[in-house]
A and B are shown apart, each in its own frame.
Chain A
Amino acid sequence: METSSDQPPSPRGFFRSWRRLYAAVLLTAFSVYVLLFVFSRIFAP
């Protein structure tokens, strides 16, 4: 269990739980993969 001293940066914002922060990290990573795919397709030989 998380304790009150173990809160992510913005307790009142979206990232009020670590789970949401981790989900945001993974979602961002996935978005980066997609963006890289699009980037390399646009300029592909």
Chain B
Amino acid sequence: MQLLDWIVVAAYFGLIITVGYWTGRGNRGLEDYFLARRSMPWYAMGLSVMATQASAITLVGTTGQAYVDGMRFIQIYFALPIAMVILCVTLVPLFYRARVFTAYEYLEQRCGPHTRSLTSLLFLFGRALSGAVVIYAPSVVLSVVFSLDETLTILIIGGFATIYTALGGMRAVMWVETWQMLIILLGILFCLGSVIWGLPDEVSLGEALRLAGSTGRLETLSFDTDPRQTYTVWTGLLGGLFLMLSYFGCDQSQVQRYLTGRSLRESRLSLIFNAFAKLPVQFVILLTGALLFVFYQFEKPPVLFDPVTLAETRAAEPEEMAAMEARYETAFAERRTAALDYAEADGATSEAALRERYVAADLAFQETRAEAVRTAAEVKGEPWSDTNHVFPTFVFTQLPPGVVGLILIAVLAAAMSTVESELSALSTASVVDFYRRFRNRFVRGPTSDRHDLIAGRIGILFWGTVATGAALYMGRLGSAVEAVNRVGSFFYGPILGAFVLAAVFPSRGARRAFPAVLSGVAAVWAADLIPRSLGVEGISYLYYNLIGTAVTVLVGLVLGSRARAGAGEGNG
């Protein structure tokens, strides 16, 4: 990091403080504080929805995944445009006209207060610790790259996001997120440009794509019908559709974005914007990773991308690593020559043979690297991979001053925008779905706007402290936090099922949504637990949402029709 990079970082913090302060003034009640006075235009909501979904892992992990595994990951997003259209037609108008603060508030009108409490509680439980993960994951990478103390990085990301979310409220958060998303998009484009710029002069973009394609890095579609596979067209379209419907339609962190629209038209357009923009953005991120793979055909990458683990592994296994690194050098040189020969053989008769030689050389190189990763995992005594370090290594070793700062603030912006949304959603659900309802049972008469505002701020400070605190202890709590997040993902489908019952079957199944949601959660749990306890590979997690939704709707309808039949007999 050079002076210019620090200036860029300082300018970023200056920008978000200014935007946050300027737009966050004059909050008078909960509608101001949690829903930005329902005054937001579509482009700010659209970028904010996108920023909420784009965590630091989207930038760092997805490029690393394309480097290691190719672009198959994009299939997860195939159903997103379809989901957006379905939501624009169904849930968005219902939420908007019901003038609710939370998605779960709408359920009370159709399914009763218990279903509202249950779904909101499931959201709070499922999301309570996800803030810890979105703070911790980028902090680890950034602390390694900058040689900063991990605790300090966690405190900067978590503390900063908590304080200005609490002070500025939703309006400030959304305008800050709008700027953050623009920074993220600029960062992504700079990365792609830098990788292409960094290719050797004798390798054109078309040849680089041919090299990436030869090793399967550009395989974007798989028509495999095996439901255990996650990255296939069918799993993406069917399983992904229910994931996207659940996430964008029933997760408060997303619903809250488009509830701030100044009209229904603006709210719908924000989702339509995402329907158009998400796939191209994801494609560019993955393409950056695939081209990074080509870049490192000509520039020798470190045997392990994480310098700390590399030093530890070298210290623990000096002889084994020295021999491995010697083989790695040779494998890299052979692959580099083979890559250049193949790139230059455009249309030549020997092209097929040169491609085979290049693919074989790449395989030998990847085997040597896999061996080093295995040794590092053995030294650490746990499963380990350096996928998340590929992109930062490129940024901090190859890019010029100023651009490094830009990419760094893009990663910070991605991390902080997700944290802000989580905190405001958790606080809104806690205050609106629980605190305000239960307070009204004991306190007579309306409370002041000031009282509500303080409750909202305390909610954000509370959840910010929980997320930052859990991130600080993530090293020790790691598996527990992961378990909570894993279980949390089981709730998405059943919550969507409750919304289907409320919106489509208000008179037949909505009043039985409470036991139906519990059945849905049990079904998803069983789908996950049974194959694991039998030691076999289960279906892809993307289908869990479909199972949860289907079981919830079916049980709701069956219980609803039995109740109606019972009531009919009673009347007769």
Contact = CB atoms under 8 A, between A and B. Distances in A.
Interface of A: 5-9, 18, 21-22, 25-26, 28-29, 32-33, 36-37, 39-40, 42-45
B216 A6 contact: no
Given A8-B265, A18-B268, A45 B216 contact: yes
B272 interface: yes
Contacts of B269: 8-9
Interface stretch (B157-165, B217-225, B245-253): B217-225
Given A8-B265, A32-B279, A40 B219 contact: yes
Given A9-B269, A29-B81, A43-B209, A37 B279 contact: no
B210 A43 contact: yes
B85 to A, nearest CB: 5
A19 to B, nearest CB: 9
A29 B220 contact: no
Contacts of A8: 265, 268-269
17 contacts: A6-B265, A7-B265, A8-B268, A21-B272, A22-B88, A22-B89, A25-B84, A29-B78, A36-B220, A36-B221, A39-B220, A40-B213, A43-B209, A43-B210, A43-B212, A44-B213, A45-B219
B265 A40 contact: no
Contacts of A37: 220-221
Contacts of B276: 25, 28
B213 A29 contact: no
Given A32-B279, A43-B214, 12 more contacts: A5-B263, A18-B268, A25-B81, A29-B275, A33-B78, A39-B220, A42-B213, A43-B210, A43-B218, A44-B213, A45-B214, A45-B215
Interface in B59-82: 71, 74, 78, 81-82
Interface in B506-559: none
Top 8 closest A-B pairs, CB basis? A43-B213, A29-B81, A36-B220, A43-B218, A40-B220, A22-B85, A25-B275, A6-B265
Contacts of B88: 18, 22
A5 B216 CA distance: 49
A40 B218 contact: yes
A19 B265 CA distance: 13
B362 to A, nearest CB: 11
A28 B210 contact: no
Chain B at the A interface: SS class: helix
Contacts of B81: 25-26, 28-29
Interface of B: 71, 74, 78, 81-82, 84-85, 88-89, 209-210, 212-216, 218-221, 233, 263-265, 268-269, 272, 275-276, 279-280, 283, 359
B219 A44 contact: yes
Contacts of A44: 213, 218-219
Which of B71, B210, B272, B280: most chain A CB closer than 10 A? Answer: B272
Contacts of A32: 279-280
B218 A6 contact: no
A28 B445 CA distance: 53
A42 B210 CA distance: 9
A26 B218 contact: no
Contacts of A39: 218, 220
A29 B219 contact: no
A45 B89 CA distance: 42
A9 B263 CA distance: 12
A39 B81 CA distance: 20
B264 A40 contact: no
A25 B213 contact: no
Contacts of B212: 43
